Amino acid sequence: MTTLPQIHNGQAIPWKNVPELAVSEWRAAVLERVHKGRRISALFGVPDDKQVVLVAVLTNDQQATLELCRTSVGDTYPSLTTDAPQAHWFEREIAEQWGIVPEGHPWLKPIRFHPSYTGRDAWGRDRSQPIEPCVTDYFRVEGEEVHEVAVGPVHAGIIEPGHFRFQCHGENVFHLEIELGYQHRGIERALVRSVPVRAYPQSEGDNASRRHYEPRTPHLAETLAGDTTIGHVTAYASILESLGGTMPPPRARSIRAIALELERLANHTGDLGALANDVGFLPTASYCGRLRGDFLNMTALLCGNRFGRNLVRPGGVRFDLPQETANELLDRLRRTFDDTRNAVNLLWETPSVMSRFDGTGSVCRQDASRLGLVGPAARASGVNLDVRSDLPWGGYQLHPLPSVTWHTGDVAARAYVRWFEIEKSVEFITDEVKALPSGPVAQDVAPPAGEHLAVALVEGWRGEICHVALTDERGRLKHYKIVDPSFHNWFGLAMALRDQPISDFPLCNKSFNLSYCGHDL
Amino acid sequence: MLRILQARWKQGYRTVGFPDKPPTLPAMYRGRPHCDAGKCQAGCTACIDACPTGALRKEANAMSIDLGRCLFCTDCEDICPTKAIEFTREYSMATRTREALVTDGRAFELAKALDGEARRLFGRSLKLREVSAGGCNACEADTNVLATVVFDLGRFGIQFVASPRHADGLLITGPVPKNMELALKKTYEATADPKLVIAVGACAISGGIFAGNPEAGKGADAVVPVDLYIPGCPPHPITILDGLLRLLGRIE
């Protein structure tokens, strides 16, 4: 096996040390590793003179390392998807962004519906014609009693837009195809455009304290997926810190981890309530709706905003956690958790709920692992991976959290995993707040190193968030790649719907609760 | 069954007293900012440089902040050497016009209630279709939360409905990216006249943090006419509720 450089989570490496392999060697190096159980955390194109360079970031969960390799490609290259299904969405993205055709890809379609960045179009579409979202080929099942159901972009609830197309036989779903792109806001490219070398004074008269990013950029990271504000901005901050060779102070690392777990608590609690709602069990739906807000209010206790806006910044956090606030946080956490346990236990005790959860929307372990699912969706199918325990960063390095799995892969499993994670997060926050390190909560970040590549993984509440940045010779961002967990998991939802009644779609969808904007960027 | 009843007892009554009583807001809550041009140093542009969305303007003897762009991040307040900008705890921020959002914060024209026929039609029953158009799911989440027991939107006769055909108006979040423009127009057209449009959050008002991205759009009123603007990133649920109630004449 070709030897590849290994880095840790949140480490930068000189670009020249990322080995450039011939396409066939690169392909073999990636496939060998995937077949040995490494995961593709990122696979993307980077513009380089007139060519495009494909970069693979492969995660070795057992050894807590990331392996990197790259190759230059022309208009086409042999697709990885045929031998590694988890590459399928990445290769569709590469085709759409750079106009490069992965030859042999079984279902090569756009994923976000925008013109390519190079002017080359992988599908030879007429450049004078606008690209309409989700106007594309769809997988079709033909037959006398087969019918098609199309849903979206605008959905019935207060939900982000996306298009779902079901091939049905009576009530039964043969296949669901998910097309997104309505939320595409061009954030990756905006991050690259926004970051100059010039340093911004952090406060008046404090010339020593400077930051090397434009005011706009952390906000762009925070709004990648607003329900994952802390998760994404932590990854972004970690990228700038590793490029600058800076480590945030211990107290800031703890506060970030506390905020990330609060984000998980709010969303997992909300999801359990939404699952109850989708099977018509209103007590838990109603209580969890309120309790989710109580967790959001704890985040607001830390920083004034229910979603954690403006808390995490490169170098640390903007707000300290004074003792009095810490005490109030612990008190509220204890009370809210008590109510949450009471509300959620009703689910497990109610046969009419469990009979709807059990066996619905199953994804087997093998499919979950081959498709590269992450987060609670993967863990509910028995795939044991969690960045917090496998590749811990920041506050998790000294205080790892156990990874929680379940084996049935159905809606019940995705509900159980969320509940166990709620229990573990509450313990984590309690311990962390009680043993909060002393000292400052922020420090200066040195300017980003030139011609370096940095990778940051964060376990958000939906799963692995991966940010990758590449700098030019002056330390400016040349490329920024974001992989939201939803990018890996949307196809998992499609798999879960196979051979299910179409009326179970809302329930299955909620059990994944994926991000549209996080996918669309 | 008994367990369900026990849980009901334990979970208690949780609906907030607002609007009859003042709301409980986080201690670090950042509400409507005030600017004081009198305190502002000549030649200093620290706040303008620090603002992520270009919300601040400084002219000869005047300063203004565009709440339609403001993210309430307080970067301007933190950097100002003379404390000319201050974020207050005022949570009422909704306006009926885009222009009213550009202010020094002190003189601020809050949304006036609908009058005449519109008040008669919508005042006691307002059904809204929510359209997320590039929203990051923060404005969506804090709009959705209004339907929980905490805010109990139903008690005001306001409800989110599943189809534009059932709706009296739209509540729009997000900057309306290019890929959502047509869907938003179609949803608007599918809503029966007369109808209202409410833009929630900096993105839906001005494009917010995404303004200037060619993919992202410039907000709802570039596509459909807007009747009520509710600023924030995202607005606190109380700010959204306050805006809706002002529009219906439930808060004066």
**Contact, B239 vs B92, CB < 8 A?**
yes
pLDDT above 50: residue A196 = no
Percent of residues, chain A, with pLDDT higher than 70: 96
Contact (CB, 8 A) for A301 and A325: yes
List all residues 6 or more positions away from A521 whose beta carbon is below 8 Å from its beta carbon.
A112, A184, A185, A186, A187, A188, A224, A482, A484
| Least CB–CB distance from B11: residue in A186, A204, A343 | A343
Query: Residue B166 contacts by C-beta under 8 Å, 6 or more apart in sequence?
Result: B127, B129
Report domain extents, chain A: 6-103, 196-483
Would the CB atoms of B137 and A156 count as touching at under 8 Å?
no
* Average pLDDT value for residue range A53-75: 95
H helices, E strands: number in chain B: 8, 10
Closest CA to A479 of A459, A455, A509: A455
In contact, A39 and A61? CB cutoff 8 Å: yes
Can you state the angle between helices A323-349 and A411-434, rounded to 10 degrees?
A: 160
Instruction: Give the containing element (helix H, strand E) for A255.
Output: helix A250-278
Lowest mean pLDDT among A67-81, A183-197, A375-389, B19-33: A183-197
Q: Is B5 on the interface with A (CB under 8 A)?
A: no
3 state DSSP class of B2: helix
Tokens of A247: 């480590």
Asked if residues B148 and A293 have their Cβ atoms less than 8 Å apart, the reply is yes
Tokens 């994670």 locate to A421
Q: Where are the beta strands (DSSP E) in B14-146?
A: 33-35, 56-59, 62-66, 85-87, 102-103, 126-132
In tens digits, what is the pLDDT along chain B, a chain of 252 residues? 889 999 999 999 999 999 999 999 999 999 999 998 888 888 888 888 889 999 999 887 788 999 999 999 999 999 999 999 999 999 999 999 999 999 887 788 999 999 989 999 999 999 999 999 999 999 999 999 999 999 999 999 999 999 999 999 999 999 999 999 999 999 999 999 999 999 999 999 999 999 988 899 899 999 999 999 999 999 999 999 999 999 999 988
Please report the pLDDT score of residue A283 as a whole number: 96
B64's tokens: 């203004």
Question: CB–CB of B110/B246 below 8 Å?
Answer: yes
- Flag whether residue A309 sits within 8 Å of chain B, measured between CB atoms: yes
What pLDDT is stored for residue A375 in this prediction? 97
Q: Do B81 and A181 touch (CB under 8 A)?
A: no
User: Which two tokens mark A355?
Assistant: 């009979």
Q: Which domains does chain B have, with CATH numbers?
A: 116-247 (3.40.50.12280)
**Whole-number Å distance between alpha carbons of A377 and A362:** 10
Chain segment A33-43, per-residue pLDDT in tens:
999 999 999 99
Residue A197 pLDDT greater than 50, yes or no: no
β-pair type (A163-169, A172-179): antiparallel
**Number of CB atoms found within 10 A of residue B186's CB:** 12
What are B168's two structure tokens? 């009296």
pTM of the model: 0.95
Does A133 touch chain B if contact means CB atoms closer than 8 Å?
Answer: yes
pLDDT band at A461 (very low <50, low <70, confident <90, very high): very high
Contacts of A112 in chain B (CB under 8 A): 179
pLDDT in tens, A132-151: 999 999 999 988 889 999 99
- CA distances (Å), A202 to each of A38, A199, A445, in order? 41, 9, 11
In angstroms, the CA B121 to CA B127 distance is 11
Among residues B185, B179, B174, B186, the alpha carbon closest in space to that of B215 is found at B179
Give the sign of the dihedral formed by CA A329, CA A331, CA A333, CA A335: negative
Closest residue, chain B, to A281 (C-alpha): B4
Beta bridge partners of A174: none
Taking CA–CA distances from A133, the nearest residue in chain B reads: B179
Average pLDDT over residues A230-245: 95
Chain A: nearest CA to B200, how far in angstroms? 13
The whole-angstrom separation of Cα B150 and Cα B247 is 21
Contact A45, A54 (CB under 8 A): yes
Helix (H) or strand (E) holding B200: strand B196-200
Cα separations (Å) of A47 from A93, A239, A338, A459?
A: 14, 20, 52, 28
- How far apart (Å, rounded) are the C-alpha atoms in residues B244 and B22? 16
Q: Does B92 touch chain A (CB under 8 A)?
A: no
Contact criterion met (CB < 8 Å) for B150 and A339? no
| Separation in Å, CA B174 to CA A32, B171, B184 | 43, 10, 11
Size of interface A-B (CB pairs under 8 A): 193
Structure tokens at A141: 């099942």
Alpha helix (H) residue ranges in chain B: 2-11, 46-50, 75-79, 116-122, 138-144, 178-190, 202-206, 237-247
Residues B178 and A426: their CA atoms lie apart, in Å, by: 41
Mean pLDDT on A453-473? 96
Tokens of B38: 């009198």
CA distance A223 to chain B (A): 6
- Rounded CA separation B250/B126 (Å): 12
Report d(CA A378, CA A372) in Å as an integer: 8
**Parallel, antiparallel, or unpaired for β B196-200 and B228-230?**
parallel
Shortest Cα distance, chain B CAs vs residue A425, angstroms:
22
- The verdict on a CB contact (< 8 Å) between A183 and B143 is no
At A50, is the pLDDT very low, low, confident or very high (cuts 50, 70, 90)?
confident
User: At the topology level of CATH, where does A6-103 sit?
Assistant: Beta Polymerase; domain 2 (3.30.460)
Q: Which residues of B touch A216 (CB under 8 A)?
A: 52-53, 209
Query: Could you give the C-alpha distances from A303 to A262, A319, A425, in angstroms and in order?
Result: 12, 6, 19
Residue of A nearest to B29 (CA): A304
Identify the pLDDT of residue A164. 95
A 268-287 → B contacts, CB under 8 A? 283, 286-287
Mean pLDDT across chain A: 93
End-to-end CA distance of chain A: 35
B110 touches chain A (CB under 8 A): no
A219 → closest Cβ in B73, B131, B183: B73
Nearest to A246 by CA among A313, A193, A192: A313
Question: A455 with A467: CB under 8 angstroms?
Answer: yes
Spatial distance between the Cα atoms of A164 and A13, rounded to a whole number of angstroms:
40
pLDDT digits (tens, 9 = 90+) for A200-237: 444 444 433 445 677 889 999 999 999 999 999 999 99
- Signed CA dihedral, A506, A457, B208, B246: sign only: positive
Q: Report yes or no: A30 and A81 within 8 Å, Cβ to Cβ.
A: no
User: Which pairs from A47-56 meet CB under 8 Å and 24+ separation?
Assistant: A47/A98, A47/A117, A47/A118, A47/A479, A48/A72, A52/A98, A52/A100, A52/A118, A53/A20, A54/A26, A54/A94, A55/A18, A55/A453, A55/A468, A55/A470, A56/A26, A56/A29, A56/A30
pLDDT in tens, A405-424: 999 999 999 999 999 999 99
**Measuring CA to CA, which residue among B122, B153, B28, B8 is closest to residue A306?**
B28
Neighbour tally for B21: CB within 10 Å:
8
Reduce the DSSP state of residue A378 to 3 states and report it.
helix
Q: Distance between CA A75 and CA A465 in Å, rounded?
A: 29
Measure CB to CB from residue B75 to each of A185, A215, A220 and give the nearest one.
Answer: A215
Nearest residue, CB atoms, A185 vs list B3, B177, B237: B177
Contacts of B7 in chain A (CB under 8 A): 283, 287, 342-343, 346
Residues 6+ apart with CB under 8 A from B198: B128, B169, B170, B171, B172, B226, B227, B228, B229, B230, B243, B244, B247
Q: What is the pairing mode between strands B102-103 and B228-230? A: unpaired
Question: Chain B contact for A15, CB < 8 A?
Answer: no
CA–CA dist A515, A263 (Å, integer): 14
Return the pLDDT at A207: 39
Look at residue A202 in the predicted model and tell me its pLDDT: 44
CATH dotted code for A196-483: 1.10.645.10
Nearest residue in A to B1, CA atom: A350
Q: In this predicted model, which residue has the larger pLDDT, B41 or A311?
A: A311
ipTM confidence:
0.95
Q: Which residues of chain B have a CB within 8 Å of the CB of A185?
A: 134, 175, 177, 210, 213, 215-216
In chain B, what residues touch A310 (CB-CB under 8 Å)?
Answer: 73-74
Phi-psi region of A13 (alpha: psi -120 to 50; beta: other; left: phi over 0): beta
Residue A20 DSSP label: B
> SS3 for A42-56, per residue?
EEEEEEECCEEEEEE
